[in-house]
Amino acid sequence: MPALTARSLTVRYLAALGLVAFLSITLHFVVKDMLRTSEGSAEIINMSGRQRMLSQRIVSLALELDKGDEAARAPMKAAIEQFGTAHGKLLRAAGEDIGNSAEQARLRDTYFGAAGVDKALKAYLAAARRIAASPQDAAGPEAEQRAADLAFLVSSARGPLLDGLEQVVAIHQAISEEHIRLLQLIQRGIVTVIVLTLQIEALFIFRPMVKRISGYVRQLMELADRDYLTGVSNRRAFTDLARTEIQRARRYKRSLSILLVDADHFKQINDVHGHLAGDAVLVSLGKALENGARREDILGRIGGEEFAMLLPETPLPEAREVADRLRRAIAGQPVNAHGKSIEVTVSIGIASVPLDAEDPLTAAMGTADSMLYKAKEAGRNCVWPQLTQVDADSGVRNLRG
């Protein structure tokens, strides 16, 4: 009987080890697959966002070509091909199972239903290709067709086409957020399995594999909160952290300020140096802002080339000094992108956070956005509002703008 009992225990122990090994290996491949899927979602969102910019570039080049600038023909054809290729990829993505059924149905309806984005894009591309192929000395019906096509491009890019592309970006963003929620569920499952692994006495055997799985969990958590390109907090994470800090400032009645930082002439950087160089500029900006921030400051990328920084316990004059220091540091350090040295400047809008407002963060970002617009109007590479003087007697800094 003792021998039989020992044998039974051995069999159970080996069966438990086998189960733990199977679950750990399965988790390893599941998490890798989810990371790959999430990276694909980020690429789709980036591609759909670039479609909006390409549509405007095609119209701009078509207008230049219509004015007689023959040099615009080649880049216009290249932009049309990029637009068409990206549209084909996005259509294939719309036909794949890339999100929940509701968002998937909404995406297909946007392309092929009442919104008719696919039809509008094809008509837009056809008109653009006719203009790009039309000779400068076209006359008669060909000239009339060219004028009609140009009018169609301009009206489409400013109205229904741009609205449709905005809808596509929003839907892809919703699908990506659904992926993030799924990743969070998997994180909880991974933690549960790891705890079970510890409970069945397999830690000392599978320690290396558990460490690897824990590393994947950290990657998933970073993916949920970090901007995929620059590595700083994404808009959702920045908003959550900022609202928490605002609650703390309300409790202790401390000053808060916010900065909105926008890269100057970013579209021109993309047009002249290419999108890879533009990505390198965004990465460099994120690092420069991160290096210039204090440990308690909250930094996030909230738009294409726009960053936000919340400064705890910082009144507006001190925030202005921080902003100008960041501006000078960025302007003094060209970005090296694929062998090209690119001069980069930023415009910065600043605002105090009104702690007595119903939604302090939204109010502050609205004010800072208005200040950013004024900085752009003032010639860029500046901070707004600007300091005009320092009262040496009272120590009160006066602001204008």
pLDDT confidence band for 216 (50 / 70 / 90): low
Question: In terms of domains, do 292 and 184 share one?
Answer: no
Nearest-angstrom CA–CA distance, 249 and 232: 23
HSE-CB for 120 with a 13 A CA cutoff? 22
Domain assignment present for 392: yes
At 47-97, the pLDDT tens digits run: 766 777 888 888 888 888 888 888 888 988 898 898 888 777 777 766 665
pLDDT confidence band for 98 (50 / 70 / 90): very low
Nearest-angstrom CA–CA distance, 324 and 262: 13
Domain assignment present for 351: yes
CATH code for the domain of 349: 3.30.70.270
At 310-328, the pLDDT tens digits run: 999 999 999 999 999 999 9
Q: What is the pLDDT of residue 222?
A: 67
Range of the domain at 191: 1-225
Domain assignment present for 373: yes
**Starting from the edge strand earliest in sequence, which strands make up the sheet with 298-301, in order?**
298-301, 306-312, 256-263, 346-352, 383-384
pLDDT confidence band for 254 (50 / 70 / 90): very high
Question: In terms of domains, do 129 and 244 share one?
Answer: no
Question: In terms of domains, do 269 and 328 share one?
Answer: yes
At 120-173, the pLDDT tens digits run: 788 878 888 888 888 877 778 888 888 888 888 887 776 666 666 667 767 766
Q: What is the pLDDT of residue 146?
A: 82
Q: What is the pLDDT of residue 82?
A: 87
Q: What is the pLDDT of residue 16?
A: 65
At 336-386, the pLDDT tens digits run: 987 889 999 999 999 999 999 999 999 999 999 999 999 999 999 999 997
This model's pTM is above 0.95: no
Question: In terms of domains, do 332 and 374 share one?
Answer: yes
Q: What is the pLDDT of residue 375?
A: 96
Domain assignment present for 230: no
Tally of domains in the chain: 2
Average pLDDT value for residue range 269-287 = 92
Q: What is the pLDDT of residue 238?
A: 95
Question: In terms of domains, do 275 and 156 share one?
Answer: no
Q: 161 by DSSP, 3-state: which?
A: helix
Task: Out of 225, 257, 287, pick the residue that ends a domain.
Answer: 225
Nearest-angstrom CA–CA distance, 168 and 45: 9
Low-confidence winner among 74-83, 98-107, 180-189, 233-242 (lowest mean pLDDT):
98-107
Task: Out of 174, 199, 225, pick the residue that ends a domain.
Answer: 225
Question: In terms of domains, do 247 and 220 share one?
Answer: no
At 171-214, the pLDDT tens digits run: 766 766 676 677 667 767 766 766 676 565 555 444 444 456 56
Residue 285 pLDDT greater than 90, yes or no: yes
**In this structure, what DSSP letter does residue 349 have?**
E
Question: In terms of domains, do 211 and 358 share one?
Answer: no
Q: 324 by DSSP, 3-state: which?
A: helix
Average pLDDT value for residue range 261-286 = 93
Question: In terms of domains, do 214 and 338 share one?
Answer: no
Q: What is the pLDDT of residue 28?
A: 66
Task: Out of 225, 256, 282, pick the residue that ends a domain.
Answer: 225
More confident residue, 395 or 165: 165
